[in-house]
Structure 1
Amino acid sequence: MMKMWLVCGFVFLSSLTCVLAWSDWAELMPDAVMDFIDNPMRRSRIPQFILDARHPWILENKRKLESLPDAEAFLCGLNGPSDKPDVHVNNGLEIPGDLFHHLEIDNNRYGISRPGWPNALRRLREMKRCPQALALVKTFTVNIYVHDQYSDWFLRVREPSRPQIESLKLFGDVLEAMTGLETLKWELSAEHAHWFEEAFKHRDLTLPSPKHLLIGPLSHYLVGMCPNVEAIEDIELTCWKHSPHQSPGLLLVRSTSSARNLTRLALHACFEGWTPELSREVLEYMPQLTSLGLKNGFEPMYIDAAYTLNPPRPEGKLLRGVLAELANFPNLTHLDLPASYQLDLGFDGGPMCGNAYEGPDGTRYQREVLAEAYKATELGGAIVAEVLPHLTSFTIGGYQPNITRDEGVISNVTWPWTGHLDEWLMVRVPDHDEL
C-alpha cells in the first residue's frame, strides 16, 4: 500500500511539474508550433496580426493572398502600402493605403481563444518583421486577458504568470517605431500594469505622436510618456481589481501635470463616485480642460449602513455640488454626464432584469420607467443649464439636447422627445403584438 501511495504521489508531482514548467518552455517553442496549438486548422500564409485587424480588404482578398508565394513579404515588404496611391501588381491585388491604420494585440474578444502573454509575444514578433505596419499605424489597441484559475485548463497551463522579458522589450520597440501613432488603447488590468511601467521607465520610453490615450487601471504612467496627448479616457473595467488605498482615477488625475496640451478628460470615478473633492483635484491638475466626461455617478458603490437612517437629500443635491466645482474651470465648454439614474435625481433606473418587461403589462411598465428616466434627464439638464450656463453643449446618458443661447448663456434646453413624449415612447417600446 505504501508503495502505491508513493507511486501515485510521484505521478502527481511529475504532472504538476510539467504543468508549471509548460509556461516557461512554451515561449521557447517556434511560433509556428504554438500557432498550431492555438488553432490546428489554421493554414494561413498571412501574418496573424494582419488577420486580427480584420481589414475589409484582407477579408475580401484572403484567398488571393494565400495563393501568393510569400504573402508576408508582399504585405510587409519594401513595396508595401503607403498613404500615397500606389498600385501593386501581384495576382491582381492593390494594397490599400489604410491597411495598417488599425493594429491590435487582443486575445479578449469574441472568436479568439489564446493565452494572453504567448499571444502578445507572437504578435509582437510578427509586427517587428513588418516595418511598413509600424510606420503607418494610427490606432494601436492592446487588450491582454491573462488566463487564471477560472479559465479552461488548456489555456491556463500555457499562460505564464508574468509577461516574458522579450515581450516587454518588443513592446517598447514596436511602440517607438509607431511614429505616426495617433491613438493608443492600452486595456490591461491593474495587476499587470507594473511590469510595463518598470520596463518602459527603464528604457526611458517617450511617444511624442499619440494625441488620444485610452488606458486601463494603474497605467497612468503612460501619460508622462506621451507629452503631446490631447485627450485621455480611462477604462471602466478597473474598479474591481485594485487596492482600496489606490484609486486609479485619482492616480490618473495626478499624473497629468506634464500634459500641457490636454483638453479632454473622460474619467470613471470608481468606487468613490464623483465628488466635489475629486472635481477640485481635476481642476488643480487640468485647469485648461475644454471638455470633461463624468463616466459614473455621485453615489459611492459601498454606502454606509447609517445612510438609510439619514433624511433623504433633496433631488439633485450631489449633482449641484459637483457642477458648482466644475463652474471654476475657465475654459470648459462641453460636459458629458452619465445616465440620469446615476445623478441622484430621485430615479433609480427601474428594474434591471428584462423579465419585468415581458408581456403586454411589461411593455406598459417599461414605457413608464423610460418616462421617469426622461423626466429625470430633463431635471438634470435644467440643473446643468442653471449652474453651468456658459457651456456650449452637454450630454446626459448619451442624449444631447438642443440648446438655445441668449447673450452667451443657455436660455432654453429641449430634448429629442420634447413635445412628443408619447410618440417617442411608442417608437422605443412598441406594443407587445408588434414585436
Structure 2
Amino acid sequence: MTRHFGDLNADVLAIICNALHDVEQGPKNLRAFSLTNRRIRHASLPPLFRSVSVHKKTLRDSADALVALKETNSVTRYIRVFTFSLEVPSFQAVQEFWTTRDPAALMQGPEDAPDCASAFAEALASMPYLRSLTFQPNRNLLEVILQHFPVAFASSQLQLGRVESLSTDVSLTFLRGICPSAVALSLRMSAMSMGPDCGQEWAAGGRVTKLDILDMGHGDEMEDFVKYLPHITELAIESRYFDVKLDLARLASLQSLTSLHLPPLSSLNLGYNPPWCGNAYMGPNGQKLRERLNKQEEEAKRQAKRIVRDALPRLRFLRIDYVGTYNFSTLKTDDPDELDRLAAIEDS
C-alpha cells in the first residue's frame, strides 16, 4: 500500500498537482506541496509555470526579467500562456516625451529598447509550446517599439506556430507574422496606429474566427479593418463608449458573426445613463428617479436588440454586460414584438 505521495506514479501525481493548482489559493498551496520531494516538485512544474507574466516594468527592467526567464529554460517549455506589459519610467518622462517628441525620454539608456526587443524574442523562442501570447505596452511606448522590436524579431526568424490566441496593439502587426496560426485576436485599437493596410496584415495567415476589440479609439477606420476578416464568428467590444447605431454599421461586413458581446447599456448611446453614485437614489425623489431609469433601461434594451438584429441578421447570441445574453435562435418569426419580448439569460 502506498504510504507517501511520492510513491504514486507520475500520471497520478500530475492529476493531483493540476487539481490543487486550479482551486482557490491553488498556486500558493501547490508551491508548498512541491517542496515535499523531488518527484512531486517535478510533477508540479507544468501547472505552476502554465501561465507566466512580466508585468508593467520599464524597458530596462523588462529586459533583465526576460533574460532571467530565458535562463530558466528547464521550465519555460511548460509555459502555455505568456503576458508581457511594458510601462514608462515615470509620468515626468511622458510629459517630456510629449513636449520634445524625443523617444529617448521614455528610456533610461539608449540600449534599453533594442536590448528589451532581443530579450523578448529570445524568451519567446524558449517557449515552444506557447498557446496564448499577450503583449500590451503603454501606448506612449508604441513609437519606440515599432522602431526596434520588428527588427529584432525579423533577425530571429521566430515562428510560434502553436499560438492560437494573440492580444496586443493593432499597430504591432509584426506579431502576426510570428503567430501565423492565431485564430483568436484581441486588439487594442487607436486611430493613430491603424494604417490603410492594417486589416490586411492581421488577416494574413490563419483564418481569424474570434476578435476582441479592446478599445475602439475613434472607430473611423474600423470599416476598412474588418472587411479583411470575413470569417469572424465571435466579436467582443470592450470599450468605454460604443455608439451602437453608428459603430455597429461599420461592422456590417461581418456577416458570419454568430456571437456579439457589447459593453454595458450605458456605453451604447441609447439614452440610458444611470448615476455613478448610489446616493442619487436617496431622498424624496429617489423612487421617481429609479422608476424613470428602469423605463430608460428597458427602452435601451429594446433598441439595442432591434439595432443589432437589423445590422446582423444571422447573429445567434447577443450578450450585453450587466444585462445578460439574448438567444436570437429561439425567435420563431421576424416580428419586432416577439424580439421586444425576448428576455436575456442573466450571467451566472
TM-score (norm 1): 0.58
Deviation readout 1:75-117 (Å, 9 max, x if unpaired) = xxxx7xxxxxxx33x7xx962531111000013xxxxxxx523
Deviation readout 1:206-231 (Å, 9 max, x if unpaired) = 22111111113522321122110101
Aligned to 1:383: 307
- Given the alignment of the two structures, is residue 173 of structure 1 paired with residue 122 of structure 2, yes or no? yes
Contact 2:256 2:314 in 1 (8 A): no
Match of 1:95 among 44, 52, 58: 44
Match of 2:145 among 180, 184, 193: 193
Instruction: Classify 1:94/1:101 alpha carbon distance in 2 versus 1 (closer, same or farther; 3 Å).
Output: closer
Instruction: Classify 1:231/1:252 alpha carbon distance in 2 versus 1 (closer, same or farther; 3 Å).
Output: farther
Aligned to 1:131: 73
Match of 2:249 among 294, 318, 321: 321
Match of 2:64 among 109, 122, 131: 122
Aligned to 1:279: 223
Contact 1:337 1:397 in 2 (8 A): yes
- Given the alignment of the two structures, is residue 105 of structure 1 paired with residue 54 of structure 2, yes or no? yes
Q: SS of 2:158's equivalent?
A: coil
Deviation readout 1:336-367 (Å, 9 max, x if unpaired) = 2333344343x152444x27626345854356
Aligned to 2:173: 220
Q: Give me the whole-angstrom Cα distance separating, in 1, the residues matched to 2:206 and 2:345.
A: 40
Instruction: Classify 1:379/1:165 alpha carbon distance in 2 versus 1 (closer, same or farther; 3 Å).
Output: closer
Shift of 1:380: 0.8
Amino acid at match of 1:401: Y
Contact 1:249 1:270 in 2 (8 A): no
Shift of 1:138: 1.0
Q: Give me the whole-angstrom Cα distance separating, in 1, the residues matched to 2:119 and 2:169.
A: 20
Q: Give me the whole-angstrom Cα distance separating, in 2, the residues matched to 1:264 and 1:319.
A: 18
The percent of aligned pairs where both chains have the same amino acid is 18
Instruction: Classify 1:262/1:148 alpha carbon distance in 2 versus 1 (closer, same or farther; 3 Å).
Output: same
- Given the alignment of the two structures, is residue 395 of structure 1 paired with residue 323 of structure 2, yes or no? no
Aligned to 1:253: 199
Contact 2:249 2:311 in 1 (8 A): no
Match of 2:183 among 230, 243, 256: 230
Shift of 1:141: 0.4
Larger Rg: 1
Contact 2:54 2:84 in 1 (8 A): yes
Q: Give me the whole-angstrom Cα distance separating, in 1, the residues matched to 2:106 and 2:214.
A: 33
Instruction: Classify 1:288/1:117 alpha carbon distance in 2 versus 1 (closer, same or farther; 3 Å).
Output: same
Instruction: Classify 1:179/1:96 alpha carbon distance in 2 versus 1 (closer, same or farther; 3 Å).
Output: closer
Contact 2:67 2:123 in 1 (8 A): no
Amino acid at match of 1:216: D
Q: Give me the whole-angstrom Cα distance separating, in 2, the residues matched to 1:217 and 1:280.
A: 13
Deviation readout 1:156-201 (Å, 9 max, x if unpaired) = x996256354432221112122111111111112324223223212
Q: After alignment, is 385-394 or 137-146 more displaced?
A: 385-394
Instruction: Classify 1:409/1:169 alpha carbon distance in 2 versus 1 (closer, same or farther; 3 Å).
Output: farther
RMSD: 3.8
Q: Give me the whole-angstrom Cα distance separating, in 2, the residues matched to 1:158 and 1:319.
A: 34
Aligned to 2:282: 359
Unpaired runs of 5+ in structure 2? 1-23, 94-104
Match of 2:82 among 140, 153, 160: 140
Amino acid at match of 1:375: E
Instruction: Classify 1:405/1:134 alpha carbon distance in 2 versus 1 (closer, same or farther; 3 Å).
Output: same
Aligned to 1:433: none
Shift of 1:335: 1.8
Unpaired runs of 5+ in structure 1? 1-54, 69-73, 80-86, 108-114, 152-156, 300-315, 419-435
Q: SS of 2:47's equivalent?
A: coil
Contact 2:30 2:44 in 1 (8 A): no
Q: SS of 1:137's equivalent?
A: coil
Amino acid at match of 2:127: M
Instruction: Classify 1:60/1:253 alpha carbon distance in 2 versus 1 (closer, same or farther; 3 Å).
Output: same
Amino acid at match of 2:265: S
Aligned to 2:342: 414
Q: SS of 2:160's equivalent?
A: coil
Aligned to 1:209: 162
Instruction: Classify 1:172/1:369 alpha carbon distance in 2 versus 1 (closer, same or farther; 3 Å).
Output: same
Aligned to 1:405: 331
Aligned to 1:291: 234
Q: Give me the whole-angstrom Cα distance separating, in 1, the residues matched to 2:149 and 2:296.
A: 46
Match of 2:108 among 150, 160, 163: 160
Q: Give me the whole-angstrom Cα distance separating, in 1, the residues matched to 2:246 and 2:280.
A: 30
Q: Give me the whole-angstrom Cα distance separating, in 2, the residues matched to 1:132 and 1:105.
A: 18
Match of 1:60 among 18, 29, 54: 29
Amino acid at match of 1:187: Q
